Amino acid sequence: MNRFTDKIVVITGANKGIGAACAREFAAQGAQVVGIARSSHAQIAEEVKKYQAIQFDFATATAERINDLVQGILEKYGRIDVLVNNAGMIRRAPAVDFSEKDWQEVLQVNLSAPFFLTQAVARWWIERRMKEQAEPARLKIVNIASLLSFQGGITVPAYTASKHGIAGITKALANEWAGLRININAVAPGYIATDNTQALRDNAERNKAILSRIPQGHWGEPNEIAGTVMFLASKDADYVNGAILNVDGGWLGR
Ligand code: NAP
């Protein structure tokens, strides 16, 4: 299947973990991937042929700089077909000790940056692309939410706030834009083995508690999230809008 032949797919946090799995899978199905992350993309850029690496730090980015980033991609490729808002970070500390710096950074990277990136792409779509289209196409936006879009989590208050927020804007923007041939949905991963969760796997007690609560009994792999992201970005999901789809080995059903 080549569901994404010549599609321009922008993925944030594409240099590792879930984002890298998405980059590999979209490219394997024909896409030109534009990967955005803060540090080196050397490994993924070597693996994936049609990959453009952009080094960009969302922690310090204003809405204006994010808009410039989008304009640069549009100048180079002429369009964006899919946006995957995947970049994210976590800080762990009890709520009474949680610093303002950590709170602001997590909210900026996990919630504000995806909102302004989505806004910039949607503005272009609404002002230009919709009018140009003789053949109706759709803009697909997939946000990466979390189980902590539904649950409170343990000593990660800013992360939980940001992931409830991302679920909220997924629904809010779907409400506003569904009539404009924009699909915006989210995937809520369960416990996936990436750098983001290394500290949990290194803590024998937490690891055991987590595994015992997952009905499927094991950590998820990044490419298991990529498959659902691609479904939501594909034609098969044209009538799916504002959904938060959990991919969690059964965790939330428990
Ligand atoms: P990961 O391996 O730590 O990857 C995080 C990605 O986000 C990296 O590419 C990182 O780039 C990028 N990123 C972080 N801060 C950034 C910044 N300031 N500017 C630009 N890019 C930045 O984590 P992951 O597990 O794949 O996480 C991907 C997404 O899934 C996140 O939104 C996370 O919250 C969500 N999620 C993960 C799990 C899980 O169990 N793993 C569960 C639920 C949700 P650099 O390395 O260059 O900074």
- In ligand 1, the atom with minimum distance to the C-alpha of 59 is 18
Q: Is 159 a catalytic residue?
A: yes
pLDDT of residue 135 exceeding 70: no
- In ligand 1, the atom with minimum distance to the C-alpha of 41 is 47
Q: In the predicted model, what is the mean pLDDT of the chain?
A: 96
Distance CA 254, CA 40 (A): 39
**Which residue spans within 175-243 are E strands per DSSP?**
182-189
Q: 3-class SS at 37?
A: strand
Distance CA 215, CA 114 (A): 31
Confidence of residue 136 (pLDDT cuts 50, 70, 90): confident
Going by alpha carbons, the residue nearest to atom 46 of ligand 1 is: 39
Going by alpha carbons, the residue nearest to atom 34 of ligand 1 is: 88
CA distances from 119 to 63, 66, 79 (A): 9, 10, 15
Distance CA 209, CA 206 (A): 5
Distance CA 253, CA 249 (A): 9
Count Cβ neighbours within 10 Å for each residue of 203-222 and write b for 16 or more, e otherwise. Answer: eeeeeeebeeebeeeebbeb
How does pLDDT run across 174-229, given as a tens digit for each residue?
A: 999 999 999 999 999 999 999 989 999 999 999 999 999 999 999 999 999 999 99
How does pLDDT run across 6-27, given as a tens digit for each residue?
A: 999 999 999 999 999 999 999 9
- In ligand 1, the atom with minimum distance to the C-alpha of 19 is 26
Which protein residues are within 6 Å of ligand 1, measured from CB? 13, 15-19, 37-39, 56-59, 86-89, 109, 144, 146, 189, 191-192, 194-197
pLDDT of residue 132 exceeding 90: no
Determine the length of the chain.
254
- In this structure, what DSSP letter does residue 14 have? T
Among 12, 18, 112, name the best residue to mutate to test ligand 1's pocket (greatest count of ligand atoms within 8 A of Cβ).
18
